[in-house]
Amino acid sequence: MSLFSKFKNNLKKTSNFLSSNILNSFQSKKVDTKTLEELESVLISADISLDVVEKLINSVRKIKTSELDITTTILETLAKEIENILQPREGKIFEVNDQTSKILIFIGVNGSGKTTTIGKIASQIRNEKKILIAACDTFRAAAIDQLKNWANKSNNDFFSGNTNQDPASVAFQATEKFNKENYNYLIIDTAGRLSNNTNLVNQLVKIKNVVSKIDPKTKVETILVLDGTNGSNMIKQVEIFGKELNVSSIIITKLDGTAKGGALISIANKYEIPISYIGLGEKPEDLAEFSARSFARSILDLEA
Ligand SMILES: Nc1nc2c(ncn2[C@@H]2O[C@H](COP(=O)(O)OP(=O)(O)OP(=O)(O)O)[C@@H](O)[C@H]2O)c(=O)[nH]1
Ligand SMILES: [Mg+2]
């Protein structure tokens, strides 16, 4: 299946919502105050932030009512505008020809999809890179097992400490193994829940400091995983984690399960942080490199 078909098939909840409501709003085939107001409320209901909605409405306002196929023109205009917002955020974590070794620390609130996303990435790139996956979510034995299963299934090496061992000390040992045995990538899974957010963020900062100190040559990246079904609430999470940790890349998961996919556009508009992947299901292949054009056209139910 092509990347575009994957986007198109798995973003149906958002695209059904947007395209059917937009077509409904413009039954009169006119661009006027009433139809623009309706469009505005459709876009807001799709969790697109007000500043973005304003931009989109302004671009549609310029369309001449005399145009023949006005609804297609409206959808095409919206898609172009959305693509322009998203384009600067396209950014890969992984390039086949890039020889840089990396330590990737996955962070995010509990249930956002960190462990699953690590499993998917490790499955997809296992033939390209020598990967060590480390379980630094040491609070629950089940969390370690879940990650170990993904490592086994994808044929990647796995490192874990003991239950309740300090996560930063597991990260320390994993980094030593990573250096000694010449891995390309060390992928670190972390816990999503602690007694409170401050403790959680402090814990992550500690992990980051520990792995950055051991090996200054290696690039350390912090990957923030957000649950797409949270819609605009994702913004709060970018704030919480972004304050203390320099977020290198964002991954938005579960976009197959929500009509609130428009929130991705709000995030892209608000933060200059690259979006590397989007989650489109639970299977290893259901993780797609983010593409601005494919996303913009898919959510408006347009063709590639
Ligand atoms: N439909 C769908 N489900 C997903 C996606 N990504 C993750 N999930 C599911 O979301 C649930 C939580 O995912 P996890 O990977 O365990 O989340 P986590 O961030 O590691 O959670 P904690 O370890 O509790 O912090 C699992 O049931 C996953 O299968 C996605 O893109 N689409
Ligand atoms: Mg987990």
- Per-residue model confidence (pLDDT) at position 195: 76
Q: What is the mean pLDDT of the chain?
A: 95
Closest ligand to C-alpha of residue 111 is 1
pLDDT in tens, 205-251: 999 999 999 777 799 999 999 999 999 999 999 999 999 999 999 99
Which pLDDT band, with edges at 50, 70 and 90, does 134 fall under? very high
pLDDT in tens, 255-301: 999 999 999 999 999 999 999 999 999 999 999 999 999 999 999 99
- Per-residue model confidence (pLDDT) at position 267: 98
Specify the pairing of strand 157-160 against strand 131-136.
parallel
Specify if 88 maps to a domain.
no
With the most atoms of ligand 1 within 8 angstroms of its CB, the residue from 282, 287, 290 to mutate is 282
Specify if 159 maps to a domain.
yes
Residue among 59, 86, 58, 84 nearest 262 (CA): 86
Number of domains in the chain: 1
Q: Which residues surround ligand 2, an ion (CB under 5 A)?
A: 114-115
Check which CATH number belongs to the domain holding 190 and give it.
Answer: 3.40.50.300
Specify if 18 maps to a domain.
no
Specify if 228 maps to a domain.
yes
Does residue 113's CB lie within 6 angstroms of at least one atom of ligand 1?
Answer: yes
* Rounded average pLDDT over 124-145: 93
Measured from the CA of 108, which atom of ligand 1 is nearest? 19
Specify if 252 maps to a domain.
no
Ligand 2 centroid–CA 223 distance in Å is: 14
- Per-residue model confidence (pLDDT) at position 26: 94
Q: What letter does residue 233 receive in the DSSP assignment?
A: G
Specify if 184 maps to a domain.
yes
- CA-nearest residue, atom 13 of ligand 1: 113
Residue 125: its H or E element: helix 114-125
Specify if 222 maps to a domain.
yes
Q: What letter does residue 139 receive in the DSSP assignment?
A: S
Does residue 110's CB lie within 6 angstroms of at least one atom of ligand 1?
Answer: yes
* Rounded average pLDDT over 149-165: 94
What range does the domain containing 108 cover? 102-247
Does residue 119's CB lie within 6 angstroms of at least one atom of ligand 1?
Answer: no
- Per-residue model confidence (pLDDT) at position 64: 85
Specify if 113 maps to a domain.
yes
- Per-residue model confidence (pLDDT) at position 10: 98
Does residue 120's CB lie within 6 angstroms of at least one atom of ligand 1?
Answer: no
pLDDT in tens, 159-187: 999 888 999 999 999 999 999 999 999 99
List C-alpha distances in Å: 30 to 19, 23, 302. 17, 11, 21
Percentage with pLDDT > 90 across the chain: 89
**Dihedral (Cα; 243, 246, 251, 252), 10-degree rounding:** 10
